[in-house]
A and B are shown apart, each in its own frame.
Chain A
């Protein structure tokens, strides 16, 4: 029996997710741009007019770095957590590799991520920053974030089949992390004793790296890159292993 090529299936699932989300909407993909832009404006208003924050130049750009990275993480993770449960009909009736469902959901969110990265780059150029050789690091850190979110999604989507509480744990974690990821504050404002711990949070690390690349035109610290790579692949491996253990009984629990 020949091993079928799952690339086409994965691409079909990603496209399906993406199309369903924007079907019957007049503004379509512009929602991907509008959401972070509005949040950026609100945060900029609050943290430059209400709580003046003179230490951070180009606050709006700094905030957008955080928002773009965070919104992919939060939307990708929380929607992928439900991907197995929401596709119960497929799990029960179609013998396709189950891993593809959470991964396809993460990647469909990845399309929005790409659009928002375009927005971020556009705004960086408009704010007077120049294209730089270190920008080549951007795809690397964003790819690591996708890997990390895939790992998390595999873990929680599989667990959610057995314990439906998991989706609320994810929801709460996302809310908590909005505050614990440097979105509307800069990394240097974090007290020194917490900084190295922060770097182990991949999302905080990606935000930091993204700001270093775009706003300081330099390479992210290699210690940070190593931690980010390590944590991302540990989560991916753990996710794949746990998912493989749990998937044979999915259909009995849905």
Chain B
């Protein structure tokens, strides 16, 4: 081989390499976005509480949660790519209109509860920066609404991807909190678990906040809207894995920030904003501000995705026009539902003396009922040969996914009973 040949070869392989990366970038988005929305106001509150109450001792649980997240989301992504249809579409076609309508009512209710929580997150995080909620919440609602009504799918996705970058604030906040890396490493390698009801409750809460029903719908719909070809599926899978990994890192840093500071000082907290406020005297005002800013970003981000996802899911199942690329007059139900969720959700936060706790509580209960149903439907659908052809679950993968789903169903039922105080 002559020198110039070698150079040509090298150039070619480099080009090929770039091609793969470009392909991945074209396909990436849905997985990373879906996972990151997981770290919403409710998620941040749960991770902060886990850190503040139990220090580093529950950190290890994030690893199995990540594995479960990857398994579940991979199935959603695969169904989206192979069938080109959304999850509610598939449920409607396979299980009929009755189940679909009742399921959609439940999904709308639980998502509505979550939307309220996101606007509460916007209000409380900006109150730390001394912005009244009567300014922050309406502005946030209009901003979020305009984003989708005036945007196209590609522009919206880009903004969402940039929003993902801001999660880095939690990593910086974690470093500022100067955690004890040795202890963290040790607690990660040697998972310990005492069977106390408080710990068990926290663990179930962590699972519940990380794997939510709406994600399955959103991920699959986003993949369908992106028109990803079956041969690009492996890039989509990578997208899901990276997303789940990043979300776990961020969650881990939230836990360890609170573990390094609030846990040591013995401070109990209830929300993400509590955590941000309590951090100021312990880890410095920058750490506190970063934490609050992260909460704002996460709440805004989830407040734009959740109503969008809900509108997608409902319209798909009912056979109404949907899609960010449609105009208002072309898809009135889609935009109507989307707008209603945002403005009603934001409006409730502004009502004086509104008790947020019962709203959250009901939405969590419905969440716990809906998740098992959806996970089981997903497994039935993905094992349908007519639908998935050669892309249906293999035997080993099927065992793993059934075990994961059964564990998750058991946990969410336990969560449900604990919520209902049975």
A binds B: no
A interface with B by C-beta (< 8 Å): none
